[in-house]
Amino acid sequence: MVQITIGGDVKLSKTHFESVEELKIELGLIELPQYQVPEEHKKILEALAEEAKKDKYSGLSREEFNTALEV
């Protein structure tokens, strides 16, 4: 038997699990608070997106990319 302590306000449906897989399933069902992108990061992302739109370079085709990896 292994005892595990989880800090924070985690509400599990039970305290005894038959296997690690069962615990993993339970942990997967926990709803976590939605992550909010900070406004300053949104501004940076928007600036990068605008810069990318203005850039005339369209990137590599899949074949060109794969060839470059082979070198």
Q: How far apart are CA 54 and CA 48, in angstroms?
A: 10
Query: Does residue 54 lie in a domain region?
Result: yes
Q: Are 30 and 10 in contact (CB under 8 A)?
A: yes
Query: Does residue 66 lie in a domain region?
Result: yes
Nearest to 28 by CA among 39, 38, 37, 17: 17
Q: Which amino acid is at 17?
A: F
Model pLDDT, residue 12:
86
- Band (pLDDT 50/70/90 cuts) for residue 71 is low
Query: Does residue 3 lie in a domain region?
Result: no
Residue 55, token pair as written in the block: 């850039």
Model pLDDT for residues 4-63, shown as the tens digit of each residue: 888 878 888 888 999 999 999 998 888 777 889 999 999 999 999 999 888 878 788 899
Q: Are 15 and 5 in contact (CB under 8 A)?
A: no
Query: Does residue 65 lie in a domain region?
Result: yes
**Residue range(s) defining the domain that contains residue 49:** 39-70
User: Is the pTM here over 0.85, yes or no?
Assistant: no
- Name the domain count of the chain: 1
